[in-house]
Amino acid sequence: MVTFEQARREPKLRQSYLEQIDFREFTPYVETILYLEKYDPKKDNSKHLGYFESDFSHYDSISARTEVSDEMASDLVGRKSRITVYGALFDFAKTEDDFLSGVVYHEGKHTEQLFFGSFTPSTKLIPAYMSRYPKPLWKHIFICNEARNQVIKMDRDAYNFQLKMAKEVQTNVSRKILRDIKRSCKYWNSQKLIPFDNFPAGLETLLNLYPKNQLL
């Protein structure tokens, strides 16, 4: 068995350490877990229609990522996720509970959300009234707005769950990580959703800011 401290010291042991992690109630929703030293967007050619990234303000790289790779957003439901952990998380976490707080209780929560369809940004979401707005750009903005609403709800739930576990289940989460989780909870809980019934007016206001030749 590889310990957390061994994995921190020796990068070659990190994949083995990750494969030992118990995802508890989220185990049925995790397909694989992978270690990479650093995320390189130039080498990422896959289509990630459902993915969530975690980072820390002290690092300029992603520390963990949960994703379902597929060409059809509607196919995300019922699909297991891949969690990728990057070197930044091993560098940043001071204790094993710090590390597991992000991997199990945050990314693990996202795997459950994606499996049960909390994130479905597809054309199926477009309500009937959008037929009054024929230009493709308008429908694109609508889908982006609904995807934003779903991301807010999912990260809000994930951070709130992560904070609950850090307080009630885990025993060695550092003050720094606990402070970061609380800050993230405050941010996501403060984000406002734009509901369907308010969207047409907001959409037209937004589009009025563009020159007419950009709306053709």
Query: What is the 3-class SS of 170-216, one letter each residue?
Result: CCCCCHHHHHHHHHHHHHHHHCCCCCHHHHHHHHHHHHCCCCHHHCC
Residues of the chain with pLDDT under 70: 40-62, 68-75, 120-143, 196-216
Instruction: Please give the C-alpha separations between residue 132 and each of 22, 89, 125, 151, 193, in angstroms, as whole numbers.
Output: 50, 47, 15, 26, 23
Domain positions in the chain are 4-214
Give me the pLDDT at residue 3, please. 97
Give me the pLDDT at residue 150, please. 84
Give me the pLDDT at residue 117, please. 80
Instruction: Please give the C-alpha separations between residue 96 and each of 75, 86, 89, 199, in angstroms, as whole numbers.
Output: 34, 15, 11, 44
pLDDT in tens, 12-23: 999 999 999 999
Give me the pLDDT at residue 135, please. 60
Instruction: Please give the C-alpha separations between residue 122 and each of 128, 157, 207, in angstroms, as whole numbers.
Output: 14, 22, 21
Please check whether residue 198 is in contact with residue 146, taking contact to mean a CB–CB distance below 8 angstroms. no
Please check whether residue 156 is in contact with residue 191, taking contact to mean a CB–CB distance below 8 angstroms. yes
Give me the pLDDT at residue 210, please. 47
Phi, psi angles (nearest 5°) of residue 215: -100, 0
pLDDT in tens, 139-152: 666 667 777 788 88
Give me the pLDDT at residue 57, please. 36
Strand, helix or coil for residue 85: strand
The two tokens of residue 73 are: 């957003």
